[in-house]
Amino acid sequence: MKGWLAAHAGGLGAALRRIGVAPLGSALNALVIGIALSLPVGLYLIVANLQTASRELTVTPQVSVFMALDANRTEVAQVEARLKKHTQISTYRLVPRDQALADLKKSSGLTDVIDGLPQNPLPDAFIIDAADVAPATLAALRDEIAQWPRVAHVQLDAQWALRLDAGLRFARLVATVLATLLGVALAAITFNTIRLQVLTRRDEIEVIKLIGATDSFIKRPFLYFGALQGTAGGAVAWLIVAAGTYLANLSLGELSHVYAALFQLRPLSLIEGLALLLTPAALGWFGAWLSVSRHLALIER
């Protein structure tokens, strides 16, 4: 165990020395990787915050059924009987036109204007809670009820929430695709960086192989170099996202005073921060392993 730890400590030390030899180049590589990684991470964080906000704002989707203005009590009762028997309807309630007008008076503050109307402009309405709130089911229920006699209009009240959810799903897909592509790019950058290092040390590698150095001994510093480069890029990405979140929250704080609604972007959690460091480290290690394995095989030919 001591020998294994000493070997890895030696490989890590050699990688750190190589970074110290060219600190500017290493810093620029970390900056490029960090900027690239911050794009999908920032998009992920925005989508996660919007999902949290939408869950707090979104109520159970309801279907509002508005009767024709001249529908009589018998026709309203016939629609109510059909709603009562419908298997896709969980609950419903009738809002008579007189009650709707009274509620409008209380909520609008336009009592004088409403009292001056020649007749009640509001129809009888049913507010329906569906048994299944899947978007396709709600749309089918809306279209079905719209065909019933004396029904003037059917509205899906939470359609905006369904559209928001669809948009967030698309944004998650974009973030996943972007993260995958940039992960491949990170592995490719590390592959090319290690390739150049191996080629510049070709003679040194050939000599130490002649005196008995194993492939693991030769690979270890390069692997640690790739992992350190990925970790540094992840740290830069975390700093960029943290700074962006802080600046965004300053602006959102000003909007909160205007609209009297507090909304703040949450920063990356501890687990998300660790993932942002470990994932590029693993990709850097993998890219370095591919590169050094390939070029060691070419040297041995």
What pLDDT digit, counting tens, does each position of 200-259 carry?
A: 777 777 777 777 767 777 778 888 888 898 899 899 999 999 998 888 887 776 655 544
Lowest mean pLDDT among 16-25, 35-44, 236-245, 291-300: 291-300
Q: Residues of the chain with pLDDT > 70: what percent?
A: 81
pLDDT in tens, 56-79: 555 567 888 999 988 899 999 999
pTM above 0.95, yes or no: no
Q: What end-to-end distance do the CA atoms of the chain give, in Å?
A: 33
Q: Residues of the chain with pLDDT > 90: what percent?
A: 15
Q: What is the dihedral of CA 99, 102, 106, 111, to 10 degrees?
A: 160
- The residues of the chain that CATH labels 3.30.70.3040 are 62-157
CB burial readout 4-31, b (16+ within 10 A) else e: eeeeeeebbeebeebbeeeeeebeebbe
DSSP assignment string, 70-99? T--HHHHHHHHHHHHH-TTEEEEEEE-HHH
What are the structure tokens assigned to 244, written together?
């962006």
Report the CATH fold assignment for 62-157: Alpha-Beta Plaits (3.30.70)
pLDDT in tens, 109-147: 666 666 666 777 789 999 998 888 777 788 888 899 999
